[in-house]
Amino acid sequence: MKSYLYKGAKTVKLGKFLSEMMPGLSFSSFKRLLSDGRVKVNSKRVKKEIYVNPGDTVEVYGADGAPSFRSESVYEDDNVLLAVKPRGIETKNFAVLVSEERGTQFIPVHRLDTNTGGIVMLAKSEAAFRAAVELFKKHLVDKEYMALLCGVPEKNGVYTAYLKKDPKQGVVEVAAVKKPGFEEIKTGIELVEMRDAEIALCRIKLYTGKTHQIRAHTAFLGHPVLGDTKYGNFELNRLSRAKRQYLTAVKLSFGSIPKGNILSALSGKSFEIPCDF
């Protein structure tokens, strides 16, 4: 039996939660678990899709044959782990899975969107977490992504705009000029190569780190991320048969960190993974 505590803030469908906690679990396998009576929520057997509430415990019986979770690490020391989050998993749930796999509590220092894969920094203690957050605040950590964009960016360079989050709708709005409630965003875009006449592979660097910044900013510029179902070009997604969001966090680079800092081992280092598209 495997037990999973839902730590989210909102209700979520049982199938979505289990697909995150059991990577590789297909929809048909999930339906079979339900029909066989092998899923319980708060000790009550469920045989159909339901919503899971914050604090609920989900138990899955006889799932030993389901694909097991194996994390991929890029770097690890006594204080932090840089691991590759698969797309389709919320960052906080990814941290839970890594914690269960390794028998050590990990705290996510920053987050990636659910459908964005790539390098995530996880702290092994509250002290390491606070030190890592401070590095991000002091702009001592650079984050770079690779993305397939719809169309060709006008030029290589840093683009500036303003962003406002709508927490109720789960979306953000981008504007060209400063408005009440909007915060400045800066996004660097560099063309790497054209994949075809309408799809461009680009390296993207975040100079600010706001919710959905890359996806919303590139869409505002007229070149959304291929496969993005929230801000994207839905017609081009359909024509390209894009089944996922083509955005991956490929690189974390650290600036000069003082020797007395708990994370000084990261000073001046860069960690990069290959783009998977």
Place of tokens 């993005």: 228
Judge whether 67 lies within some domain.
Answer: no
Helix/strand/coil (H/E/C) assignment for every residue in the chain: CEEEECCCCCCEEHHHHHHHHCCCCCHHHHHHHHHCCCEEECCEECCCCCEECCCCEEEECCCCCCCCCCCCEEEECCCEEEEEECCCCCHHHHHHHHHHHHCCCCEECCCCCCCCEEEEEEECCHHHHHHHHHHHHCCCEEEEEEEEEECCCCCCEEEEEEEEEECCCCEEEEECCCCCCCEEEEEEEEEEEECCCCEEEEEEEECCCCCCHHHHHHHHCCCCECCCCCCCCHHHHHHCCCCCCCEEEEEEEECCCCCCCCCHHHCCCEEECCCCC
| Spatial separation of the C-alpha atoms in residues 109 and 94, rounded to whole Å | 12
Q: What is the CATH number of the domain that holds 29?
A: 3.10.290.10
In contact, 78 and 106? CB cutoff 8 Å = no
Residue 66: predicted pLDDT: 54
Q: How far is CA 72 from CA 115, 153, 260, in A?
A: 17, 33, 29
**Which residues of the chain fall short of a pLDDT of 70?**
63-68
Q: Does 196 participate in catalysis according to the annotation?
A: no
**Same domain? 40 vs 106:** no
**Same domain? 168 vs 240:** yes
Judge whether 114 lies within some domain.
Answer: yes
Residue 8: predicted pLDDT: 87
Residue 64: predicted pLDDT: 59
Residue 177: predicted pLDDT: 97
Judge whether 40 lies within some domain.
Answer: yes
**Structural domains in the chain (count):** 3
Q: What is the CATH number of the domain that holds 129?
A: 3.30.70.580
pTM listed for this prediction: 0.80
Residue 118: predicted pLDDT: 98
pLDDT tens-digit series, residues 146-191 = 999 999 888 999 999 999 999 888 899 999 999 999 999 999 999 9
**Same domain? 82 vs 122:** yes
Cα-only R_g, the chain: 20
**Same domain? 178 vs 50:** no
Residue 100: predicted pLDDT: 84
**Same domain? 232 vs 150:** yes
Q: Please give the residue range of the domain that contains residue 161.
A: 144-249
Residue 63: predicted pLDDT: 66
Q: Which of 77, 78, 113, 276 is catalytic?
A: 113
